[in-house]
Structure formats: C-alpha cells, structure tokens
Structure 1
C-alpha cells in the first residue's frame, strides 16, 4: 500500500457488517504503522490505499481518502468482485491508539479456508464508518446492503462520497483502513450457502459477508486519484447506535428485496445519490 499526500485534492476510500464485540487488543507495531503514533492527519492531505485480496477473492483496487475539516471524501475503484452483487464496505480501525491491521491467513481459526467477518474483526477492528451510497454511515448500517455499491457485470465497482465525520476520525484517518466484503469461492458468480451461513445473519450466506479485500495507509507519496464512473454524495456518522446492528442489518436485507438472492444482478456499479 502506498501513501500519498497532497495539500489539495478531493479524496477517496471504502468495506462487512459489524459485530458488536468488546475487543481489547494491545497496541502493536506492523509494517507501515507505528503503535501509539499520535501524529494527526493534516487538513487537506490525501492518502492512497491499495486494496489487496482476502480469502483468495481475486479482488483488488485503489482508494483515496482526504479530510477537510469534518468532511471525509472517499473514492474507490475496485475490480475482481462478484459481478452484479452488492459489496458491503467499511472503514475499520481505532482512533484511540490500538494498531489494527488487515488480517492474514492466521485469522482463519477453524481452518476452513475462509476468514469470516468474526474471525477478521480482532485484527482489523470494529467499523468506524459504513461506506454506503446514501443515508446513514454509522456502523449501524454495516449490513445495509440496499445502500451498498453493486459490482457491474465485469466485477468492477466505482464509489465516491463525502461524509461528515467526528474529529477523532479526522485526526486519525491514517490509522484507519478499508475493507470490502463479498466473495465467490466456488466461482458461480453469485452468493450461495456453499460455505455455510453468515455468523452475522443466518439468512445470509457466509460468502455475502466474508471480507474480499483490505487496505491500509502506508508508504511513500503517490500520484493521481482513481478515475472512473463515480458519483458523489454526503452523509453523517451520527444517528444509529451499535446494539441494534444485526437486527438492522437483517431488516436491510429484507427491505432490499432479496439483494443476496442466489442469482446474478445486473445493476450499474455507480449509484447516484443526493446529499
């Protein structure tokens, strides 16, 4: 992953449903991050995040994120995702000193070949922001699949949105990272129950909520932002509390009219929404 700083830029960024886990993980250092680093992000700086596959998903992409005051702009260009299917995406991590990171294969505790959302959370941390296309962006919208971007017929996804965030997020955006969800291990271009039920909602396949890609801010300066058919919007991180997450997520799936049905969707990846 590469870090790029710019004093002028609109920005970009993205990621699965959140489990309300009271995780207390000691801060630790890892490549590209320093545990306990108190350096705050400078207003107007832009950071690039390279998204790398998880669960052998074949997914990859680039996210750009920038902050101006309390406005966070996130732009993502991704490919290799499940065609025609919604992909939950979030900003994960900590703003209070814990040094979370993208999970490696050691996160697969039961050895079934899939890092589930529950197995990955202790490494990549809880949801800070749900990267929805419109409306609420709190972690309470982690399973709001009717408001998550949809990959096109070629498995490509474009996303752009400006979101109101807390001062803590604005100050510590360098410590956060993006996770996208939704995998297709059996290669049939749909979400099915081949890997069992999701631990987030038994009505959903594990494939629908397992992480597909993850990226962290890291490295040297970069150049241009991702380009593509992206639209902009705005939202707020206020208004939804975590305790009702799973219930809200299940309701969102039903309200979406069965977005996670066992068939392919052919909806454009770029979703236009109002501020």
Structure 2
C-alpha cells in the first residue's frame, strides 16, 4: 500500500523578494516508485526554481527555517543559514531526482504569473541506492525532511552577506530560499 506525505509550502524571505511564494508538495511512495507533485504560486516570474528536500543524516527531525535563522541580520535567510534547523540539501526535484545531481539546469520554470507545477515518477530503488551512496543510508525518512523552493531574479539586490554561491557557477540568487514546508505523513 502506498504511503502519502504532504508539505504545505510557506513563504520565506518575502519581504526581501517582494512576493509570497507558496504551494504544496505531495509525495506518494509505492513499492517501486515515488510520485512527486509540487505546485507553486507567486514565485518570482519567468525563471527556473531549484527545489529539494533537506534534512539531517543523523536522524534529527528537520524544521523549516524562519527569519529567526537570519543570524547575520542582513534581512534574508540564505542557504547556509537554513542548515542549523533544516540540515543539508539532499534530493533535487529536477529532471532526474534519483541521480541526486544538485547543481544543474533542469529544474522547473515559473510562468508569467509565478506559477509552476512539477510532476515526476521516480524509481524508488535507484533513488535509495544513490541516497545510500551519498548519505550512508537508504532510508529517505520523508517525515523528517523539509522542502525548499529557491531562486530570485539576478537583478534583485541582495545583501553582500547573503551566502549560497555554489561552485562559483550558481550565485546566491539561484540558491536563495523563497519558500519552505515541513513534510508530514498522511495517515
């Protein structure tokens, strides 16, 4: 029997980015696949948005970041600041989540209203094998994870202190979190 999980995704950094991105992520885990649907509204328009689940490798229950995580008080919660409560980036919701290739250009693109819907059927065995190779366990523990949606326009002025540059190829505009939600099991 399939197990279902849902995350209500709420805005983060809305004051700095000028929009309140929100939506829902649904995960249905069957015997051989995980079906993922993420529907987002009011994201920055006409741009690619990275999205992932984050968590801890030691079994700690990840929590969504809030403005309380803005430890340098620059007005934004950047990717490094989320790690204390949310852990590390784990599985991308891109063209091939089971490959766990975080830095790529195959994430969803929002339309001119800031809307996008991501739907993917992922082979569970392949995802668990790659997860084990990277994190040492094949337990996805979805109910201990949080979903992040990232990305603001390159022309948006961010504080110099906003971190998150990834491999010098992707700057903090790509990685800035814009929404987050706690994944919860549906009984």
* Range into which the TM-score falls when normalised by the shorter chain: 0.7 to 0.9
| Runs (5+) with no aligned partner, structure 1 | 1-42, 184-189, 222-275
**Are 1:124 and 2:89 counterparts?**
no
1:173-252 correspondence to structure 2 within 5 Å: 173-183=142-152, 190-192=153-155, 194-195=157-158, 196=160, 198-201=163-166, 202=168, 204-218=170-184
Aligned residues: 168
Answer 1 or 2: which has greater strand percent: 2
| Runs (5+) with no aligned partner, structure 2 | 129-137
Greater C-alpha Rg: 1
Once residues 186 and 96 of structure 2 are traced to their aligned partners in structure 1, the CA distance between those partners, rounded to angstroms, is 32
1:12-48 deviations in whole A, cap 9, x for unaligned?
A: xxxxxxxxxxxxxxxxxxxxxxxxxxxxxxx502122
Q: Is the 8 A contact 1:198 1:207 kept in 2?
A: no
Once residues 174 and 218 of structure 1 are traced to their aligned partners in structure 2, the CA distance between those partners, rounded to angstroms, is 5
Kindly state the Cα deviation for residue 135 of structure 1 after the two structures are TM-superposed.
6.8
Task: Tell me how large the CA RMSD over aligned residues is.
Answer: 2.2
**Are 1:168 and 2:139 counterparts?**
yes
Q: Is the 8 A contact 1:74 1:162 kept in 2?
A: yes
Q: Is the 8 A contact 2:5 2:185 kept in 1?
A: no
Going from structure 1 to structure 2, the CA distance change for 1:126 and 1:70 (only over 3 Å counts) comes to farther
**Are 1:51 and 2:5 counterparts?**
no
Once residues 163 and 49 of structure 2 are traced to their aligned partners in structure 1, the CA distance between those partners, rounded to angstroms, is 14
Once residues 176 and 135 of structure 1 are traced to their aligned partners in structure 2, the CA distance between those partners, rounded to angstroms, is 15
Kindly state the Cα deviation for residue 174 of structure 1 after the two structures are TM-superposed.
1.6
1:135-190 deviations in whole A, cap 9, x for unaligned?
A: 7541xx2221x111111111001101122332411xx222222111013xxxxxx3
Q: Is the 8 A contact 2:35 2:120 kept in 1?
A: yes
Task: Output the TM-score relative to the length of structure 1.
Answer: 0.56
Q: Is the 8 A contact 2:46 2:111 kept in 1?
A: yes
Once residues 220 and 68 of structure 1 are traced to their aligned partners in structure 2, the CA distance between those partners, rounded to angstroms, is 14
Once residues 120 and 180 of structure 2 are traced to their aligned partners in structure 1, the CA distance between those partners, rounded to angstroms, is 19
1:199-246 deviations in whole A, cap 9, x for unaligned?
A: 32445442321101111134876xxxxxxxxxxxxxxxxxxxxxxxxx
Once residues 115 and 55 of structure 1 are traced to their aligned partners in structure 2, the CA distance between those partners, rounded to angstroms, is 7
1:55-204 correspondence to structure 2 within 5 Å: 55-56=13-14, 57-94=19-56, 96-134=58-96, 137-138=99-100, 141-144=101-104, 146-163=105-122, 164=124, 165-166=127-128, 167-169=138-140, 172-183=141-152, 190-192=153-155, 194-195=157-158, 196=160, 198-201=163-166, 202=168, 204=170
Going from structure 1 to structure 2, the CA distance change for 1:107 and 1:53 (only over 3 Å counts) comes to same
Task: Output the TM-score relative to the length of structure 2.
Answer: 0.80
Going from structure 1 to structure 2, the CA distance change for 1:59 and 1:96 (only over 3 Å counts) comes to same
